[in-house]
Structure 1
Amino acid sequence: MARETDQKNRQPDDLIALLDSADRMPGASELRSLSYALLGAGPGVSVVDVGCGAGRAVAELAERGVRAVGVDPSERMIAVARDRRPEADFRIAGAYELPLADASVDGYRADKVFHELAAPERALTEARRVLRPGGRVVLLGQDWDTIVIDSADPELTRTVVHARADLTTGPRAARRYRNLLLDAGFDAVTVEVRTGVFTGPAMLPLLTGLAGAARSTGALTPEQSDSWIAEQRARAEADRLFLALPMFVASATAPR
């Protein structure tokens, strides 16, 4: 589920397919709409979407009359975004050095980005720089240690979840959103959680990926991984799969 460290570890086209799939998940559209509302997105408003991926949010913001700029550190991502939406403004850049002038945008949005950053504080310093006084910042993302999966072997499931989390640069960045924003000097900081509950076979690729990642670290043996995946497949076939994925949404205002 944008992106700066993980892009180095995946084939770009695989990551694009993964992000496209995440954008189609139940509740994903509603989360994006919530982020736009928190930004105050509307005609004449300017927003930078950091870690924009293939550009879906930039396109949706433009449909609302927003002057949106999408930035992503991956040349391949930006190439795909430009191909899909040639009329939009996409630029190659990371979260630490945005290609924008000081106090030049009304909104800053980062969706599934901060868990990939080694220094999220630097990213928020850059957000402060490009935001106009009174501008809005919205951060969205999951806490990688907080994925709830029903299983007959809860201990092994904890191992799966935490081993996958340990492969992420900042697996607990989402729970830090509030304090990161406060430490960066933002005002009116709020955080809410929207939890997606999934019970169908569509989530099996995600579960298989979690187990595969845990196996790659040595946290699971091949036999444990195969057994855990087999249980989740059987649950899906019997309509007994259960996965809950909390998504944290933080917003704040740049000081005037």
Structure 2
Amino acid sequence: MPDGELRVQSFQSDRIDDTAISYLVEFLDQQAAMSAVSELRDWAHEALAVGPGQRALEVGSGTGSSVQRLAAAVGPDGEAIGLDVNTGLLAVAEGRARSAGSAARFVHGDVYAAPFADGSVDAVLCERVFQFLDRPERAVAEIARVLRPGGRVVLIDSDWSSATLYPGDLEVLRTVESMLASRLHGREPLAGRKLRSWLSGASLTVTDHEARTLFLPYEMFLNAGLLALIDMAVTRGEITAEQRKQFLAGLADAQSRGEFHASVTMFAAAAYR
């Protein structure tokens, strides 16, 4: 399997490869340092308004940085929990929390069957999980189930139909951008635009929304799945092997001149039960 294909699949709940943990951690840390991500996270925490003594949950907690922030907000009388299906990431999150002296705790599980009682959580954060789900309505219904009356939720996700890439042959660019927005490997690539609809469909009241443009560095975009998509396009006969070669060479040349561009829009939506 090509390296790029392994990496683009590694975040999916039914295909996660725990042997790729070092790559996943590096990838998540790089994204966490980007202004678009940090600004949306700030907005999310403000919208959740978690207070002392409350119980807060992050679904898809990754390296655990947001759970540590929730733990600081709920204080010693509250509880902050990270839920993740990837046991390797859970170990990293637990180690980082202990090193930081944080009371954040982490449990194994997925969004389709959260190990929490009905109405037992005050606030739920879920960032860039829904784009990897094949049953998003079921996932948001599960989040709604665990929320207490008055409980708040914020969903953050990308909309890959907004992805833009430069430079390149127009035919190849259209092919790549179309594939990014298509439902490959069971993904939900249009998750960002559907967040409010999913929340409303789970009988939650949407209160606010926000968006930021995430600019992706050259190496990150290649490693996040572009190489796999290009190879797939050749296999499908949508572009030729020569077009692939010229396209990738053009991107590398643009990068060397400081002209490479790749971006995607991230959306956030807040709601309460």
Instruction: Specify the TM-score bucket, using the shorter chain as the normaliser.
Output: 0.7 to 0.9
Residue 119 of structure 1: aligned partner: 135
Is residue 225 of structure 1 aligned with residue 269 of structure 2? no
Is residue 242 of structure 1 aligned with residue 242 of structure 2? no
Structure 1 109/209 Cα, relative in aligned 2: closer, same or farther at 3 Å?
A: closer
Q: Which 5+ residue runs of structure 2 have no aligned equivalent?
A: 1-7
Q: Percent identity?
A: 33
Structure 1 204/135 Cα, relative in aligned 2: closer, same or farther at 3 Å?
A: same
Is residue 151 of structure 1 aligned with residue 163 of structure 2? no
Question: For the residues of structure 2 that align with 1:3 and 1:17, how far apart are their CA atoms?
Answer: 17
Question: For the residues of structure 2 that align with 1:40 and 1:227, how far apart are their CA atoms?
Answer: 50
Q: Deviations over 1:115-174 (max 9, x none)?
A: 111111111111111101111111101112221122242331121233244435211122
Q: Deviations over 1:1-51 (max 9, x none)?
A: 964145259833322322222212233222211111111123333211001
After superposition, residues 1-256 of structure 1 pair within 5 angstroms as: 3-5=12-14, 7-8=16-17, 11-65=20-74, 67-86=79-98, 87-166=103-182, 167-168=184-185, 169-197=187-215, 202-207=217-222, 209-217=224-232, 218=235, 219-254=238-273
Question: For the residues of structure 2 that align with 1:78 and 1:210, how far apart are their CA atoms?
Answer: 23
Q: Which 5+ residue runs of structure 1 have no aligned equivalent?
A: none
Structure 1 62/203 Cα, relative in aligned 2: closer, same or farther at 3 Å?
A: farther
- Counterpart contact for 2:199–2:206, Cα < 8 Å: no
Question: For the residues of structure 2 that align with 1:222 and 1:18, how far apart are their CA atoms?
Answer: 29
Question: For the residues of structure 1 that align with 2:240 and 2:54, how far apart are their CA atoms?
Answer: 52
2:195 maps to a residue whose letter is Y
Aligned length: 251
Point out the more displaced range, 239-248 or 106-115: 239-248
What SS does structure 1 have at the residue aligned with 2:62? Answer: coil
Structure 1 185/38 Cα, relative in aligned 2: closer, same or farther at 3 Å?
A: same
Point out the more displaced range, 50-59 or 206-215: 206-215
- List structure 1 segments (4+ residues) > 6 angstroms apart after TM superposition: none
Point out the more displaced range, 245-254 or 15-24: 15-24
What SS does structure 1 have at the residue aligned with 2:160? Answer: coil
TM-score (norm 1): 0.87
- Counterpart contact for 2:155–2:268, Cα < 8 Å: yes
TM-score (norm 2): 0.82
Structure 1 43/203 Cα, relative in aligned 2: closer, same or farther at 3 Å?
A: farther
1:76 maps to a residue whose letter is G
What SS does structure 2 have at the residue aligned with 1:146? Answer: strand
Structure 1 57/124 Cα, relative in aligned 2: closer, same or farther at 3 Å?
A: same
Name the one with the larger helix percent.
2
Question: For the residues of structure 2 that align with 1:225 and 1:25, how far apart are their CA atoms?
Answer: 29
Q: Aligned-pair RMSD on alpha carbons?
A: 2.3
